[in-house]
Amino acid sequence: MRTLYFDCFAGASGNMVLGALLDLGADRQGLESGIEALGLEGVSLRIEKVNRSGIAATHVEVLYEDQKHHRHLSDIEAIIDAGDLPAIVKDRAKKIFGRLAEAEASVHGISIEKVHFHEVGAVDAIVDIVGACICLESLGIERFACSRLHTGSGFVDMDHGRYPVPPPAVARLVSGFEVYSDGIEGELLTPTGAAIVTELCAGSEQIPSMKVDATGYGAGTRLYDKFPNVLRVVLGEASPAKAPDAELLRLIETNIDDSTPQVLGFVMDKAFELGALDCWFTPVHMKKNRPAALLSVLADPSSEAALKKLLFTETSTIGVRVRDVSRECLERISITVETEFGDVDVKVSRYEGEVVNIKPEFDQMRELAERDGVTLREVERAVMAELGNDNYFAAKG
């Protein structure tokens, strides 16, 4: 599977994404033709090779006459729809701007229709986002992934005032992703960059196993001393899916026919405190037809001694059985889904690269249902509607 990995060790901005994709080998002529097709007067691109702390990178600057437009989402969608562009490019660009609009609306407490795009509504943002989508299509990307997101630190001046880094819209956009700052001053992760990366990717992860075809670097405008302000993208063919990795665990078991339910419940709680991965009871019949419970504890080998001590000291057993077991787990990530009732964390499991299980966090859905006086099923339906079933995960890679 043709995979693109965003290595955001210096954050990401719209022009960094565009520069990195061009550096990777995206069709420059196709990009310039596509931007021209948007019908934006007086717009051109300055594309040049630069050096950022020893790394050769591509820097893109959008040139245009000063424009003071504060566009709504509908205005931007109309510009995109009017362009002579492939449907997938238009759809992806509108989704990215829609994500921006949702973040701005949430921050300001207004409807999406009323959002005025200030910083992110300028011509350069339109060109960066649409241009990135044009380049992605020319590269034939099938799956996207990203690293942790470096936000930077300090404060940034915006139309509404002076805000901490990451600013509110970016903080909203990165919900469900891993972020960090190691003290580099400035806004490394911009709203445009955050919207592109988080719309394409499902969550932060290590670089996938792949055969690397090419690496590209997109330069940011700000210069730092001994810190390469660049976005690195890695393109390659993901390795064939393999069976989930197996881990060796211990299964500790004992039969108990002379204990109370209260004691057994206490033992289960203590087992989890001591590192048990799972604990369960199975009804059994022992000698003399006595009803009993088979107590089973699954654990990492490092927890075996403590758990055996627990069973010997807190139950009436005089012997336990221990055997090695092999456990295989699916690849799992956690994402945050925004619904009309509130945010819900969702666990997504894949097998051989395909989504096979989607599990919203029950306690969060129950809390939202009780708070808003709706049924649990209504909240669950809202979560699944936002996920969009297979279409959602296709877009997320």
**Is a pLDDT exceeding 60 seen at residue 237?**
yes
Q: Are strands 2-7 and 143-146 parallel, antiparallel or unpaired?
A: parallel
Contact indicator for 145, 335 with CB cutoff of 8 Å: no
Structure pTM? 0.63
Q: What is the pLDDT of residues 242-286, one digit of tens each?
A: 555 678 899 999 999 999 999 999 999 999 999 999 999 999 998
Name the 3-class secondary structure at 137.
helix
Contacts of residue 186, defined as CB under 8 A and 6 or more positions apart, other chains included, come to 152, 153, 154, 156, 165, 222
Residue 63 and residue 77: Cα distance in Å, rounded?
21
Q: What is the pLDDT of residues 331-374, one digit of tens each?
A: 888 888 889 999 999 998 888 778 888 899 999 999 999 999 99
The CATH label, of 3.30.70.1380, 3.40.50.11740, 3.40.50.300, 1.10.287.1080, for the domain at 246-328 is 3.30.70.1380
Residue 301 and residue 275: Cα distance in Å, rounded?
10
**Is a pLDDT exceeding 60 seen at residue 395?**
no
Find the mean pLDDT for residues 378-393: 75
Instruction: Give the dihedral sign, CA 223/187/104/68.
Output: negative
Among 95, 190, 97, residue whose Cα is nearest residue 149? 190
Q: What is the pLDDT of residues 114-137, one digit of tens each?
A: 777 654 457 888 999 999 999 999
Specify the CATH class of 331-396 in words: alpha beta
Contact indicator for 111, 177 with CB cutoff of 8 Å: no
pLDDT for 68 equals 56
* Cβ-count burial 234-248 (b if 16+ within 10 Å, e if not): bbbebeeeeebeeee
Where are the domains positioned within the chain? 2-238, 246-328, 331-396
Find the mean pLDDT for residues 33-52: 93
Among 185, 285, 271, residue whose Cα is nearest residue 227? 185
Residue 182 and residue 165: Cα distance in Å, rounded?
12
CA-to-CA dists, residue 206 to 5, 152, 210, 227, 331, angstroms: 9, 20, 12, 22, 12
Q: What angle do CA 74, 75, 78 make, to 5 degrees?
A: 85
Q: Are strands 331-338 and 343-351 parallel, antiparallel or unpaired?
A: antiparallel
pLDDT band at 390, cuts 50/70/90? very low
How would DSSP label each residue in 56-110?
EEEEEEEE-------B-HHHHHHHHHHS---HHHHHHHHHHHHHHHHHHHHHHTS
**Is a pLDDT exceeding 90 seen at residue 191?**
yes
Helix boundaries (H) for the chain = 14-24, 28-36, 73-82, 87-108, 123-139, 168-173, 191-200, 261-273, 304-314, 362-372, 376-387, 389-396
Name the 3-class secondary structure at 250.
strand
